Structure 1
Amino acid sequence: MRAVYMGVILTELASHRADRRRHATALAPAAFVLAALFVSPLVAADPWLAPGDLTLRHDLQLLADAGIVKGPVTTWPISWPDVARDTLGADAQLSANSALAAALMRVQRRARAASALGTDGIEYEAALASEPIQLRHFGDTPREDAELGLRASWLGTRFAANLQVAVVADPADDQELRLDGSYVGVTLGNFMVSAGAMERWWGPGYEGSLILSNNARPIPSITVERNYTDPFKSRWLSWIGPWRASIALGRAEGSDVALPNTRFFAARVNFKPRAWLELGLTRTAQWCGDGRPCSLGTFGDLLLGRDNRSDSLTINQEPGNQMAGYDFRLRSPWRAVPLAVYGQFIGEDEAGGLPSKFLGLLGGEVWGSSAWGSYRVHAEFADTACSFSRATPEFGCAYRNGLYPQGYTYRTRTIGHSMDQDSRMYSLGATLVRPQGDTVNALLRKTNLNRDGGNNFLSSGPVEIKNIELQYSRALWSGQLAVGLGYDDASNDAVSSDVRGFLNWRQPL
C-alpha cells in the first residue's frame, strides 16, 4: 500500500489531573439531574457511522445481505452518504420481509437526520459504570466509572465538524478531560480528509479486531477515506466491485510511555467482488519516536517493507514495527439460507514480502425474524498467539516488538484485540431488535488470558475467565437509554471475579 496523504498530526490531547474522588461524586448527580430536565430530538448530523451501535450494525448487515446496501460494511466508521444513497432510494413497502422493511426504515430515518445540513444543537451524554468491562467488544460501553460529555456537530456541503468534550472520573490513563470523537473534515472529490480522534473498528469480528479496534481510545490522526464505494469503471479493475479505502497518520503519547512521540500509520482497502463476498486488506505500523529515525525516507522504507534486520539493518536503523493481514466475510450465495462465515488473519512478522506468524479470528453468524423482531446469533473464536494454528504457537510475540517497549498500545490499552497477547476467546452472542428499535444483546464468553504467563496487560499470569453480558437499549422520551449487566468468573486471583453494570443516557440540550 502507498501513502496518499501526509500532513501535520493532530496535537496530543492535554492531560488534566485533579482529585479523582471529587470528580466521581460530582458526576453522578449531574448525570441524573440533566437526564430529568431536558427533552428534545437527538442530534444526528454526521458524515460517518461510528462503531459501537449494535442495532445499526445489525440493520446495515441485514440490508447488505439483502443487496440494498452495496458497499462493504466491515470498515468502521462507514460513510453515511454512501449508505444514504443506497437506502433512501429503496422502498420498504416493496419488501415482503417485515424485519427487513423495519431495518430499512430505521436506517432511512437515521440517514435523513445524518444528511441534514447545519446543526441541530448540542447533545449531552452521561454514563455511570461499576467495574467497566475490560474485554471490550464492538458495542459502545463506558470506559470509566463516570462520564459526562457534550457534543455539537455541523455539516455543510463540503465541510463537517464535530466537537465532543467529556469529563471522566478515575481514568486509567489520568486524562480526565477528553476530546475523543472530535474532528474537522473536508470533502475533496470522492474523498473525505479529516483531522481528529475517531473510533475505528477494522474487520468482521464482533468481539474484537486483531489489528484495530475500539479497545484503546482513538489515536489523534489525519485521515483520508473514500466517500462513495463505486466500482472502478475500467474493465481491468471492475471485478473488484464496490470498494472502500482508508489511510490514517497519527501521533501516540507525547510522554508517560517508554518511547514517547511514536507515530501510527494505518491503511485498509475493503471490497466486494461478489455480493456475497467481502474482503479486506489491512496494514498498520508504529514508527518515529524519541531517538528513532523519522524522515520521509524512513517512512518510504516502512511502506516498502524494508524494516527487518534481515535487510542488513541494525535495530537503530529499522524504520518501525508493522502488522498486516487479511479478512473476509462469506455469505451463503443463496439468500434463502441466512448464514455467513468470517475470519481475520493478522501477521506479526514478514516473510518473503508477505505477513507471517498469524494471529487468528474465525466466526459464523445466522439471522432471521420472529414474532419478537429480527435477530442475529454469532459464534466467534480468536487467538492472539503468533502462528496460532500450529500445535505449538509462538508466545511472547503478539503486540510486542524490540523497538517500542510499550508494545502495540495507546494510552495503556492494546490497539488490537482487548485480550492482549497469548490469549484465546470463545464467544456466543445474540442480538434481538424489535421493530421500534428496542435492542437486547446477550453474550457468553470463555477466555484463556495470558496462556504463557508472560507480559499481558490484563493478567499477571494464566487465568480462565467465564463471563456473561446482558444489554438493553431503547429510545425513551426524546433520548436514548442503554443499560448493561455482566459477571466475570475468574479461575484464580490473577484477575478478580466481578459483577458489573452500566447506565448510559444521551439527549439534546
Structure 2
Amino acid sequence: MCVAPVWAQGLVLNDESLRTDLNWLNQQGVIQISTSTWPLSGDEVQRALASAKVSTVAQQKVIQSIQSQLTANNKLLKAEVFAESDRKNIPQNFADHQKAQFQAAVELNAGSQNWDARLRVNAETNHQIDNDQTVNVEGSYLAGKLWNQWLIAGQIPTYWGPGHDGSLIRGDASRPVYGFTAQRATQSAFDSKWLSWVGPWQYQAFAGQLDDYKAVPDAKIIGLRLTAQPLPNLEFGASRIIQWGGEGRSQSASSLWDAWIGNDNVYGNTENPSNQIAGFDGRLNLHSLMHVPISLYGQYVGEDEAGLLPSKKMYLAGADYSSSMKDMPYQLYVEWADTRTNGDARGISYNHSIYKSGYYQHGFPLGHAMGGDGQMVSAGGSVTINSANRVNGRVLFAKLTGSERGAKNNLAFPEKDEVNALDLTWTHQLRTDIPVKLNGWLSDSDRRGTDAGVSLGIEFPLN
C-alpha cells in the first residue's frame, strides 16, 4: 500500500496519540523514526511516512490517524477550550499541557518549507501550576530552517527519553521554559564511511531561563541531548542538563565552560558550582530479531559525576507491545521509575546546595512528574477503535516524596504519600479536525483519601 504525503509543520509538539502511533509503526517494522526527543521535526515525520512499508489494514489505519493529526495541527487558526471538575492530584502524563482547571486558547499557525511559527494565547483560571498570570503564550514559537537545522525561539515543552509516563532528566510536567532550541530537521546518517555506522542521529540543544525561580532569580538551564540508531532496532541516547548563572552568580564564559566540562563539580566549592544532571537511555525493538512487536527500554540519570559518569543515580525501565485485534490497533506498556538516590530517599534527587529551589519551576519538576525521592509502577495502553474513536488509559501505583528534604521544593507532591490511580481518556473526532477528549480519573491517596474527577477538552478550527 502506498502512503500519500502530508505536509507537517516544522515542529511537531508533544502529542501522546501521535507518539503512540509512531511507536506502534516502529514496533510493527513499518517505519524507523526516533520518538525519544520532543518536539519532533515535521521533516523527519514526513521522511518516515514516505518510506513506510504498509502491509495490513491496521497499519494503514495508523498511518491515516497520523496524517489526520498532522493535518489538524496545521490549521491556520484554531481554538481550544478545557475544563475539569477538580484538581487532578496524580503524576501528569506525557503531553498534558493543561496547567489550570479552566482554560481557553486561540492558536495561529503559519509556515512554509523553511520557516514555521505558532502564536498561542492561553487564558487560564484556577491554576494547577501557579505562574501569577491569567494570560500567557505557552506553546508559541518562531523557527527557521538552515542547512537541515531547525533554530527555534519560544516557550515550548521538551521531553527527553523513551519512557511513557515520565523522563528522569527532561519531562513536560512543569510549564515550558522560555528559551532557544536547535535540532536537526531530518535524522539522516553521516555520509562519511568513518561515521556512517552511527546510523540515523539527532541532537537537541537548549538554553533557557527559569521563570520565577526564587532561590537564584534568572537562573539558566542549558542542555544537550544526542541520539543514534546504529542498528534499525536499537537506539541509544545521552543527555546532559546544567542549572547555571542567575542573580548573584558568575555568568562569564569561563564559568560556563567550567560548568560544562565539570570543573566546578568539586566538593566544598561554593564559588561557582552548577547543578548538573546527566544520563543515558536506550530502546531495543525486538521485531527484526524475534518477529514480535515488543520493545524494551530503560533510562538512568545521575546528579553530579564520579569517574566521568553520572553518580547518585535514578532509574526507569519498561516494555511495550503493539499489535491489532480485528483490525483495531492497540498498544500496551508497563513501566517502573525510581527517583530516589541509588535506591535511598536522601533528599538529593532534583535538589542542590546553591540552587535551593531545586530542579523545579513554579514548584513542579523539570524531570519526572512525581519529583525526587519517588517510586512509581504504571501500566497502560491505547486502542484505536475506528477513525473517530480512541481510548487510552493507565493505572499507577506511586510512593511519593520519601524524604522531607526531597519534598520541600515539590509543590506537585509536597508530602510523603502513597497514591493508586486509574486514568482513562476517550477521544472522539466530531470531524477529523475537531477532537473531543473526555478524561476521567479515580485515585486513592493516604493523604487526600479517595478522589475522582472528569475533564472535557475540545479543539476546533476558526477558519
Q: What TM-score do you get using the length of structure 2 for normalisation? A: 0.92
1:297 aligned onto 2:251: no
Quote the offset at 1:349 in angstroms.
1.7
Q: Which of the numbers 101, 123, 130 marks the counterpart of 2:85? A: 130
Q: Which of the numbers 466, 478, 500 marks the counterpart of 2:453? A: 500
Quote the offset at 1:314 in angstroms.
2.6
Looking at structure 2, the residues matched to 272 and 341 of structure 1 have their Cα atoms a distance apart, in angstroms, of 15
**Matching residue of 1:47:** 10
Contact 1:426/1:447 (CA < 8 Å) preserved in 2?
A: yes
Distance 1:186 1:358, change over 3 A: same
Quote the offset at 1:496 in angstroms.
4.9
Contact 2:179/2:206 (CA < 8 Å) preserved in 1?
A: yes
Contact 1:386/1:395 (CA < 8 Å) preserved in 2?
A: yes
Paired residue type of 1:387: N
Looking at structure 2, the residues matched to 91 and 372 of structure 1 have their Cα atoms a distance apart, in angstroms, of 17
Once the two structures are superposed, the pairs formed by residues 342-421 of structure 1 within 5 Å of their partners are 342-371=297-326, 373-388=328-343, 393=344, 395-421=346-372
Contact 2:28/2:323 (CA < 8 Å) preserved in 1?
A: no
5+ residue gaps, structure 1: 1-43
**Matching residue of 2:3:** none
Distance 1:110 1:131, change over 3 A: closer
**Matching residue of 1:151:** 107
Quote the offset at 1:137 in angstroms.
1.1
**Matching residue of 1:441:** 392
Looking at structure 1, the residues matched to 29 and 242 of structure 2 have their Cα atoms a distance apart, in angstroms, of 35
Task: Specify the SS of the correspondent of 1:60.
Answer: helix
**Matching residue of 1:84:** 46
Looking at structure 2, the residues matched to 108 and 240 of structure 1 have their Cα atoms a distance apart, in angstroms, of 29
Looking at structure 2, the residues matched to 490 and 90 of structure 1 have their Cα atoms a distance apart, in angstroms, of 45
Quote the offset at 1:507 in angstroms.
0.3
Task: Specify the SS of the correspondent of 1:374.
Answer: strand
Q: Which of the numbers 24, 42, 45 marks the counterpart of 1:62? A: 24
Quote the offset at 1:270 in angstroms.
1.2
Quote the offset at 1:296 in angstroms.
1.1
Q: Which of the numbers 258, 266, 281 marks the counterpart of 2:238? A: 281
Task: Specify the SS of the correspondent of 2:217.
Answer: coil
Q: What TM-score do you get using the length of structure 1 for normalisation? A: 0.84
Quote the offset at 1:258 in angstroms.
2.1
Distance 1:75 1:215, change over 3 A: same
Paired residue type of 2:42: W
Q: Which of the numbers 425, 431, 436 marks the counterpart of 2:376? A: 425
Paired residue type of 2:227: N
Q: Which of the numbers 194, 216, 223 marks the counterpart of 2:174? A: 216
Write 1 or 2 for the structure with the bigger share of strand. 2
Paired residue type of 2:13: A
Distance 1:338 1:90, change over 3 A: closer
Quote the offset at 1:323 in angstroms.
0.3
Distance 1:110 1:500, change over 3 A: closer
**Matching residue of 1:17:** none
Task: Specify the SS of the correspondent of 2:304.
Answer: strand
Looking at structure 1, the residues matched to 318 and 298 of structure 2 have their Cα atoms a distance apart, in angstroms, of 6
Looking at structure 2, the residues matched to 74 and 401 of structure 1 have their Cα atoms a distance apart, in angstroms, of 27
Q: CA RMSD in A?
A: 2.0
Contact 2:12/2:39 (CA < 8 Å) preserved in 1?
A: yes
**Matching residue of 2:280:** 326
Contact 1:268/1:283 (CA < 8 Å) preserved in 2?
A: yes
Looking at structure 2, the residues matched to 75 and 293 of structure 1 have their Cα atoms a distance apart, in angstroms, of 31
Looking at structure 2, the residues matched to 132 and 227 of structure 1 have their Cα atoms a distance apart, in angstroms, of 38
Task: Specify the SS of the correspondent of 1:501.
Answer: strand
**Matching residue of 2:4:** none
**Matching residue of 1:242:** 200
**Matching residue of 1:199:** 157
Contact 1:131/1:498 (CA < 8 Å) preserved in 2?
A: no
Task: Specify the SS of the correspondent of 2:120.
Answer: strand
Q: Which of the numbers 180, 186, 189 marks the counterpart of 1:228? A: 186
1:105 aligned onto 2:64: yes
